[in-house]
């Protein structure tokens, strides 16, 4: 299975999170409500819906990540992190290059009645938290800490895999949102 230097992994995910926050601050939060709510010309989600979809994942995962970091703060970091097969599967599935189109799971489908300003605000707040969690995770063993999966909470993934698939998922839907920019 894929093996990567833990610090490098967390660092590259931080770089990605940073660029997404920057985009949200510089562009998304300054768009008019009309542009934010405009459905994709190709029959798909608006920018607001893309971000709200990401928010729904954050609402589940961020509190779990926070309590896991707190609970395991005495664990020692390992130099290398190896993905689990399921974590790796989810990450590849979420990646924007997977070429596949998936229907969102029921509890992650964004409604059409959204307040764009609060959707972007929540996205930014979540990404700020994620950034600080990625930094904190450098001090613990991200292979040992386990997080439940939102669509199947009896399944647990390594924290390192959760970070990876969340960021792959972010990348996918941010790319989708950007396609809606005027």
Partner 1 sequence: MPQHLDKSLEQLKELVCSIHSFSKEEWEEFSALWKPHSAKRKEILTHPGEVERYLYFVVEGIQRVVYMDEQGREATLVFTYAPSFGGVLDSMLEGVSSHYFYETLSPSAFLRVSISDLQKQGQHLKAIESLIQKGLVGALSGVLERLVEVQCYSSEERFRSLLKRSPHILQRVPHKYLANYLGIDATNFSKLLNKVKL
Nearer to partner 1 (CB atom), residue 28 or residue 165: 28
CA neighbor of 143 nearest in space, from 130, 132, 156, 154: 156
Residues making contact with partner 1 (CB under 8 A): 14, 18, 21-22, 25-27, 29-30, 32, 117-118, 121, 124-125, 128, 131-132, 135
Q: Which is nearer to partner 1, 122 or 161 (CB)?
A: 122
Shortest CB 43 distance to partner 1, Å = 28
For the CB of residue 130, give the shortest distance to partner 1 in the complex, in Å: 10
Q: At its nearest, how many Å lie between partner 1 and the CB of residue 30?
A: 6
CB-nearer residue toward partner 1: 132 or 150: 132
Task: Report the C-alpha gap between 182 and 180 in whole angstroms.
Answer: 6
CA distance 60 to 63: 7
Please, what is the minimum distance in Å from the beta carbon of residue 98 to partner 1? 29
H-state helical runs in 44-101:
47-71, 85-94
Strands (E), the chain: 3-5, 80-82, 146-149, 152-158
When the beta carbons of 22 and 178 are compared against partner 1, the nearer one is 22
Q: Of 50, 20, 53, whose CA–CA distance to 35 is shortest?
A: 50
């Amino acid at each position: 299975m894929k093996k990567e230097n833990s610090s490098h992994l967390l660092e590259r995910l931080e770089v990605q999170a940073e660029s997404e926050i920057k985009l949200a601050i510089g562009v998304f939060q300054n768009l008019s409500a009309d542009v934010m709510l405009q459905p994709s010309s190709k029959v798909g989600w608006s920018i607001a819906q893309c971000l709200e979809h990401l928010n729904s994942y954050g609402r589940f995962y961020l509190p779990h990540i926070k309590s896991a970091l707190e609970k395991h703060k005495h664990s020692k970091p390992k130099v290398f992190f190896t993905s689990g097969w399921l974590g790796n599967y989810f990450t590849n599935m979420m990646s924007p290059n997977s070429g596949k189109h998936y229907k969102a799971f029921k509890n992650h489908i964004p409604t059409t009645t959204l307040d764009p300003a609060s959707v972007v605000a929540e996205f930014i707040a979540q990404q700020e938290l994620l950034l600080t969690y990625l930094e904190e995770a450098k001090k613990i063993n991200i292979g040992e800490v386990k997080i439940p999966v939102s669509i199947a909470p009896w399944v647990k993934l390594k924290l390192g895999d959760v970070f990876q698939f969340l960021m792959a998922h972010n990348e996918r839907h941010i790319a989708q949102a950007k396609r809606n920019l005027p």
